[in-house]
Structures are given as C-alpha cells and as structure tokens.
A and B are shown apart, each in its own frame.
Chain A
Amino acid sequence: ILNVEQSPQSLHVQEGDSTNFTCSFPSSNFYALHWYRWETAKSPEALFVMTLNGDEKKKGRISATLNTKEGYSYLYIKGSQPEDSATYLCAFNVQSSNDYKLSFGAGTTVTVRA
C-alpha cells in the first residue's frame, strides 16, 4: 500500500486570498503525480499530471509544483473564488508494466467564503 498524505484536511479561505496545500508521496519508483478537483455529486476532474522533478503546471489561477526527490507536491490557488470550493485530491502512479492505477490521498477540502 502506497501512502499518499495530504495536508491540511480542510481549509477555509476568504474570497480573493491565495492559498496552498501539500501532497506527500513515496519518492521511490515514481511515475506520475496527479491532481484532481472534485465537487460534490460530480466526477473528479483531472487538473494536472506531472512526471518530472521540478515540473510546474498552471491552469488559470491554479498551479502545481513537483519535487520527486523529496516526494511532495504543492497546489496553489491564487485569488480564490467561491467556485474554487471543492475537494482537491492528489494521486500517485508507480512504475508498472501493467497499468496506471492510482493511489489517492484523502483530499484537502477548500471552502471559499464570499
């Protein structure tokens, strides 16, 4: 079982403020790190997949960084808006010849207050 940890479990952010949270994962046999955005009653939405140490990805006001040597990734939300309220899941692939199965963290639930 691969242990993927996310911190904090939840956070409340004032509209307009920026925030960030972390995902830690085993650094051995690394293949890829994924971030998903999950709103209640909807499908988890793929935000980023990162494979290289030092990778930085950006989608609008959301960005992510990756450090494979120390086994962590940060997700940043700049200028939070109420529509950013969701649970953000990180998930981890190991190198495998079979498939791309994911090991998930427990998620960080973000609530943006207007």
Chain B
Amino acid sequence: EPEVTQTPSHQVTQMGQEVILRCVPISNHLYFYWYRQILGQKVEFLVSFYNNEISEKSEIFDDQFSVERPDGSNFTLKIRSTKLEDSAMYFCASSAFETQYFGPGTRLLVL
C-alpha cells in the first residue's frame, strides 16, 4: 500500500541553523501539507501546496519557512534560521481529495 515517507526521522540542530525536512508524498496525490505538533499541544496546520504553489499558509508560516517540490516527487520544508520554539514533530501529508495520508513525522530539536 502506498505511504508517505519522511526523512530524517530525528534532527538536532543549533539555533540559527537552517534545516530541510523531506517528504515523499503518495505519487498520484495533488495536495500536499505540512503540520507540526509542539510537545503537549495540538497538531497545527502550517501550509498547503497545490499545483506547484502555496494554496494556504497559517500565521506560523512566516518568512523563515519555505516549501518546495523540487523534482516532482519530493516535498520539502525549509526553516532558514531555526529558533528554540521550532522544536516540534513535523508531519507531511498528501491527499487526492479530502482524506489526508500522513508520514511518520520528523522530530526536530533546536538547541
């Protein structure tokens, strides 16, 4: 059964460093999403991507964040200058319609 994959599973970085989180969505899906969950809080929406452009972004998704679909299969989330409060589990999801399929997440720890 097709699944969404994410790499790395864990990443530790220093504050101010750039990180790139990678996702391979399900191949025939058209909608792509990033969510995150800060420990002890709800899963929250970051950004959605459709037709090679951002379709919606949350208030969290400021200029430090960017997304890209560089090669037709990968979907990446870049954080340019990480802050302590960016520490969270980051989930990628993809969908053909309303049902979203999630990857296992990348746990990011910013020190």
Binding site for B on A (CB under 8 A): 4, 31-32, 34, 36, 41-44, 46, 49, 51, 89, 91, 93, 96, 98-107
Contact = CB atoms under 8 A, between A and B. Distances in A.
Majority secondary structure of chain B interface residues (helix, strand, loop or mixed): strand
13 contacts: A44-B91, A49-B99, A89-B43, A91-B43, A93-B98, A96-B56, A99-B31, A99-B50, A100-B31, A100-B95, A102-B45, A104-B42, A106-B41
Interface in B58-86: none
B103 A32 contact: no
Majority secondary structure of chain A interface residues (helix, strand, loop or mixed): loop
Interface residues of B, number: 25
B99 A98 contact: no
B84 to A, nearest CB: 22
A62 B70 CA distance: 40
A107 B39 CA distance: 13
A100 B33 CA distance: 9
Interface of B: 3-4, 31, 33, 35, 41-45, 48, 50, 55-56, 91, 95, 97-105
Contacts of B33: 99, 101-102
Contacts, number: 62
B3 A43 contact: yes
B97 A100 contact: yes
Nearest to B59: A1
A98 to B, nearest CB: 4
Contacts of B43: 89, 91, 102, 104
